[in-house]
Structure 1
Amino acid sequence: AGPGQRVGLCLPRGCDLLVALLAILKTGAAYVPVDPHAPAARRGFILEDSGVCLSVSQRALAVELPGTALCLDDPFTRAQLDAVVPGELPKVPVDAPAYLIYTSGSTGTPKGVVVTHRNVERLFTAATQDGHFAFDEHDVWSLFHSHAFDFAVWELWGAWLYGGRAVLVPEAVCRQPDAFLDLLAEQGVTVLNQTPSAFYALQSQAVRREVPLSVRTVVFGGEALEPSRLQPWRERYPSAELVNMYGITETTVHVSFHRLSDEDLQSPASRIGRALPDLAVHVLDDAGQPVPLGVVGELVVEGDGVAQGYWQRPELTAERFVAIDGQRRYRSGDLGRYHADGSLEYRGRGDDQVKLRGYRIEPGEIAAKLAALPQLVDAAVTVEGQGEGAWLMGYAVAAPNAEPDPQALRDALRAVLPDYMLPRQIQLLPALPLTANGKLDRKALPKPQTEDRDEGALESASEQRLAELWRQLLGGERPGRHAHFFARGGHSLLVVRLAEAIRVEFAVAVPLKSLFEQPRLAEQAALLDALAAPQSAPEQADETWESFEL
Structure 2
Amino acid sequence: MSAPSPVYTGRRDDLRFGPAHPVEPGTLDELLARTAARVPEQTAVVGDGGPLTFAEVDRRATAVARYLRDRGIGTGDRVVVVANRCGWMSAVVTGIIRAGAVYVPVDASYPAERVSFIFSDCEPAAAFALGGASLPEDLAEKLTRSGVVTATVTDDSPLGRALIDGSADPAWSTVGTFTRAEQSRPLTGEDPCYIIYTSGTTGTPKGAVNTHRGVSAHMQWMGRALTSVGDTTTPIRMLQKAPVSFDVGVGELIGPLATGGAVVVPPPDWWPGDVDALVKMIAGYDVTVMSMVPSLMRVLFDVLDDLGVPLSTFSNIRHMIFGGEAVPADIVRRSLDEIGCRVYGLYGPTETAMDVTWVEYTHDLVGASDFDDTASLLGLPEDNVACYVVTEEGTEVAPDDGDIPGELCLAGPQVGLGYLNRPQQTAAAFVPSLHPEVDGGRMYRTGDIVAWTTVGGRRVLKFLGRIGDQVKIRGNRVELGEVEAHLRDLPGVRQAAAVAVDQDGSRALVAFVVAEEDATPDVTALAAQLGGTVPEYMVPSQISVITELPVNANGKLDRRALADLVQNPG
Offset, 1:307: 0.5
Q: Give RMSD over aligned pairs.
A: 3.7
Do structure 1's residue 250 and structure 2's residue 335 form an aligned pair? no
The aligned residue for residue 322 of structure 2 is 220
Matches within 5 A, 1:228-307: 228-237=330-339, 239-266=340-367, 267-268=371-372, 269-291=375-397, 292-307=401-416
Q: Structure 1 residues 48 and 221, CA, compared in 2 at 3 Å: closer, same or farther?
A: same
Aligned counterpart for 1:339 among listed residues 450, 453, 459: 453
The aligned residue for residue 524 of structure 1 is none
- Secondary structure of residue in 2 paired with 1:319: helix
Q: Distance in 1 between matches of 2:218 and 2:153?
A: 31
Matches within 5 A, 1:90-489: 90=183, 91-128=186-223, 134=228, 138-170=235-267, 171-172=269-270, 174-208=272-306, 209-211=309-311, 212-213=313-314, 214-237=316-339, 239-266=340-367, 267-268=371-372, 269-291=375-397, 292-324=401-433, 325-326=435-436, 327-339=441-453, 343-352=459-468, 389=495, 433=505, 441=507, 444=508
Q: Distance in 2 between matches of 1:471 and 1:53?
A: 55
Q: Distance in 2 between matches of 1:473 and 1:16?
A: 48
Q: Distance in 1 between matches of 2:128 and 2:187?
A: 21
The aligned residue for residue 414 of structure 1 is none
Offset, 1:215: 0.7
Cα distance per residue 1:431-490 (max 9 Å; x no partner) = 8846xxxxxx3xx26778xxxxxxxxxxxxxxxxxxx999989999xxxxxxxxxxx977
The aligned residue for residue 72 of structure 1 is 153
Identical columns (%): 26
Offset, 1:163: 1.0
Q: Distance in 1 between matches of 2:101 and 2:504?
A: 46
Cα distance per residue 1:355-402 (max 9 Å; x no partner) = xxxxxxxx9xxxxxxxxxxxxxxxxxx99978875679897xxxxxxx
Offset, 1:248: 1.2
The aligned residue for residue 84 of structure 1 is 169
Matches within 5 A, 1:527-546: none
Offset, 1:112: 0.6
Q: Distance in 2 between matches of 1:490 and 1:72?
A: 38
The aligned residue for residue 24 of structure 1 is 96
Cα distance per residue 1:284-341 (max 9 Å; x no partner) = 1012212223222221111111001111111111111110354111111112222356
Q: Structure 1 residues 446 and 279, CA, compared in 2 at 3 Å: closer, same or farther?
A: closer
Q: Structure 1 residues 394 and 76, CA, compared in 2 at 3 Å: closer, same or farther?
A: farther
Q: Distance in 1 between matches of 2:266 and 2:425?
A: 36
1:196–1:221: 8 Å Cα contact kept in structure 2?
A: yes
Q: Structure 1 residues 473 and 51, CA, compared in 2 at 3 Å: closer, same or farther?
A: farther
1:207–1:232: 8 Å Cα contact kept in structure 2?
A: no
Cα distance per residue 1:468-524 (max 9 Å; x no partner) = 999989999xxxxxxxxxxx977999xxxxxxxxxxxxxxxxxxxxxxxxxxxxxxx
- Secondary structure of residue in 2 paired with 1:61: coil
The aligned residue for residue 122 of structure 2 is 50
1:173–1:179: 8 Å Cα contact kept in structure 2?
A: no
Stretch deviating more after TM superposition (114-123 or 166-175): 166-175
Offset, 1:55: 1.5
Cα distance per residue 1:83-129 (max 9 Å; x no partner) = 23236531322221111101110112011100111111011223455
Offset, 1:251: 1.7
Q: Distance in 1 between matches of 2:254 and 2:133?
A: 29
* Matched length: 394
- Secondary structure of residue in 1 paired with 2:251: helix
Stretch deviating more after TM superposition (307-316 or 213-222): 213-222
2:500–2:509: 8 Å Cα contact kept in structure 1?
A: no
2:348–2:356: 8 Å Cα contact kept in structure 1?
A: yes
Q: Distance in 2 between matches of 1:173 and 1:108?
A: 26
Cα distance per residue 1:215-251 (max 9 Å; x no partner) = 11101223443345433333322x2100111211112
Q: Distance in 1 between matches of 2:200 and 2:318?
A: 37
1:143–1:152: 8 Å Cα contact kept in structure 2?
A: yes
Offset, 1:260: 0.8
- Secondary structure of residue in 1 paired with 2:343: strand
- Secondary structure of residue in 2 paired with 1:107: coil
Offset, 1:151: 0.8
Write the letter of the residue equivalent to 2:377: R
Cα distance per residue 1:408-439 (max 9 Å; x no partner) = xxxxxxxxxxxxxxxxxxxxx8x8846xxxxx
Matches within 5 A, 1:500-519: none
Write the letter of the residue equivalent to 1:279: V
Q: Distance in 2 between matches of 1:474 and 1:181?
A: 34
- Secondary structure of residue in 2 paired with 1:352: helix
Q: Structure 1 residues 284 and 188, CA, compared in 2 at 3 Å: closer, same or farther?
A: same
Q: Distance in 2 between matches of 1:52 and 1:165?
A: 29
Q: Distance in 2 between matches of 1:61 and 1:109?
A: 23
Unaligned runs of 5+ residues in structure 1 are: 355-362, 364-381, 396-428, 435-440, 449-467, 477-487, 494-550
Offset, 1:206: 4.0
Q: Distance in 2 between matches of 1:334 and 1:315?
A: 20
Q: Give TM-score, length-normalised by structure 1.
A: 0.63
Write the letter of the residue equivalent to 2:168: A
Q: Give TM-score, length-normalised by structure 2.
A: 0.61
Q: Distance in 2 between matches of 1:253 and 1:236?
A: 29
Write the letter of the residue equivalent to 2:153: L
Write the letter of the residue equivalent to 1:349: G
1:298–1:331: 8 Å Cα contact kept in structure 2?
A: yes
Q: Structure 1 residues 336 and 226, CA, compared in 2 at 3 Å: closer, same or farther?
A: farther
